[in-house]
Structure 1
């Protein structure tokens, strides 16, 4: 009888633990309706600010989308890319992939101010980045999706992780696949998310080696790019060129047509169609824009799920630039 009672108590304890674990997992998952009660007007607060920024400068849509990518690839989607340096750490803004390149911080500041007025101390900067990325794509004619929410903000940042984890424009295909795999993302995610280069511009310093030294590039295209990007390092480093010559401010699938025709602006772009394992996906997205949109949306959701801080982890920054 005592044994039976002990067994029953043990079983109840195990069951209780299982329920606690289950609840913990559920609480840790992101949810599109996370702010439905605490900040019901969140999405309609963010969208007009993004639209206004894109209307003022179409390139800003690409910059805001890129910011979300650079945040998620460094210790997860935690808003750390927004932090300014302070006395305890050097942030990510001066990392090689971000310095004099990542932009749009003032737009995030404007959005955060508007959100704080609507719902003080409720919405994380990390979630604002996720919503802003979606709204930027939509503003430039791309697909929409339900953004999963519930992230919390990091109180620290990592310069070294930003220098290590963000794929370089000089990356080989194997480097790219490995880099995405390290973040839990598939090769399909890699090729679909690279389609974000259908909008935006790149600096000469990031494509100089490709247009002067690589063989897997259309000669006429390379020559035209050389006119705006001198071969000497330090000369014209910040000169800009559109990643998609045809429709640089329209979110479409032209990027894949460029790559197939050996007109990828970055070395890493052209690596996706250089006889490797990703050739088939590039061809699919070039001929099937609906499939591209579907896989891009899935890729954005998958990327947004990289190591989010949830529940009691992290916090809610009232100023996205300042750790609390």
Structure 2
């Protein structure tokens, strides 16, 4: 009986039949003619990881976001260009405060989390919308935008605005937060989550008053990086906690990320909780969400495809 061999078409058919298994043969592949496949006795099934699909069937794997455009090394930005980029980031990025009640029987004093929200253009000539990552505000009792007046009141009540080493974290506040809510409620600018998508780890935030919307919404937001294109040659991160600098960022090898975190882009950004990652061409690439639980040097960012899908779904409502 002729020995069965595996042509390329059979490989693709098996991939489509079950993306969790790949038919392989231990001996070198030989081209066979139609009708010669008579036995499956030499087929061996092996499991593969999701990121390996792109090596078998192009297009089924992860994004090409880690591949820079062009073959030449990018020209470093000069001081004026970096300052221009920092200025753009500062107008399109805000700090927000989330108050989360601790579980009982702990004293019911709100825990203070300070993270980021970014203004994003849903389409040209449309007013920008405010986005953040969803996980850190999932249990928030109240959300507030931190402008200069709110920041001054927080400092007065002993609530720290800056954290080290990662911008965006829980802040010790003691009784300060209670005093802030009681004595300076008139300076607080309240937000609410109009929509949360836990599977994408994204949230759409809106002001609770029209007056606050007209006062605090900028004229322009981040245009989104086209998720169908490779990553720009240079990307950066920014946090208003460090208003005088932008942070150069690299994307780690996507294959190094465990399967449980395959949704995210692994980055070197230190800023978390919705901090923007953007290109040298002023486009929003990703939102850094959290630190890797076992690799503190790795940030996990919501990728551009998820951002684009979420923004498009907002316009459909």
Structure whose alpha-carbon radius of gyration is higher: 2
TM-score by shorter chain over 0.5: no
Question: When the two structures are superposed, what TM-score results if normalisation uses the length of structure 1?
Answer: 0.24
Which has the larger helix fraction? 1
- TM-score with structure 2 setting the length: 0.24
User: Whose RCO is larger (CA < 8 A, sep 6+)?
Assistant: 1
